[in-house]
């Protein structure tokens, strides 16, 4: 006779939910503010502007025209979306600077300064 162990099934379910939640946390994109040491988890494809503004990056137009929100990407440039036309026009040399209002994080880890 095969008995159904409800308690065991329940415990296994909650354990699975716990590990799925932990894995999601580990694979989410991460934005690190080098100067302050703050780290934030973001969904892949999320804009970084709001977190940058909350961390103290100054913003003005939010359209990539004024250049107020220039950040320095210390590590993980490949984890940001491609430069926008606005960034190309404003920054010229596309080295390690980006406009925070124009960037989205694709995944992985990005470390920035401002």
Residue 64 pLDDT > 60, yes or no?
yes
Q: For the chain, what is the mean pLDDT?
A: 88
User: pTM surpassing 0.85?
Assistant: no
Strand, helix or coil at 38?
strand
The residue-averaged pLDDT of 45-66 equals 95
Encoded tokens for 45: 């494809």
pLDDT higher for 19 or 55? 55
C-alpha count within 13 angstroms, C-beta hemisphere, residue 19: 5
Domain 30-113 homologous superfamily, CATH: Beta-grasp domain (3.10.20.30)
pLDDT digits (tens, 9 = 90+) for 83-107: 999 999 999 888 899 999 999 999 9
Give residue 45's pLDDT band: very low, low, confident or very high (50, 70, 90): very high
**Integer Cα distance of 103 and 1 in angstroms:** 61
Residue with tokens 């926008």: 84
**Integer Cα distance of 85 and 83 in angstroms:** 7
pLDDT higher for 83 or 5? 83
pLDDT higher for 80 or 26? 80
Name the DSSP letter for residue 44: T
Contacts for 46 with CB less than 8 Å, ≥ 6 apart: 29, 104, 105
């Amino acid at each position: 006779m095969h008995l159904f162990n409800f308690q065991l099934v329940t415990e296994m379910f909650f354990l699975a939910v716990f590990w799925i939640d932990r894995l999601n946390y580990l694979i989410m994109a991460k934005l690190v503010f080098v100067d302050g040491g703050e780290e934030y988890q973001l969904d892949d494809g999320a804009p970084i502007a709001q977190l940058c503004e909350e961390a103290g990056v100054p913003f003005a137009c939010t359209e990539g025209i004024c250049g107020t929100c220039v950040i320095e990407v210390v590590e993980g440039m490949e984890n940001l979306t491609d430069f926008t036309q606005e960034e190309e026009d404003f920054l010229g040399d596309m080295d390690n600077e980006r406009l925070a209002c124009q960037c989205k994080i694709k995944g992985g880890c990005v470390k920035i300064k401002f």
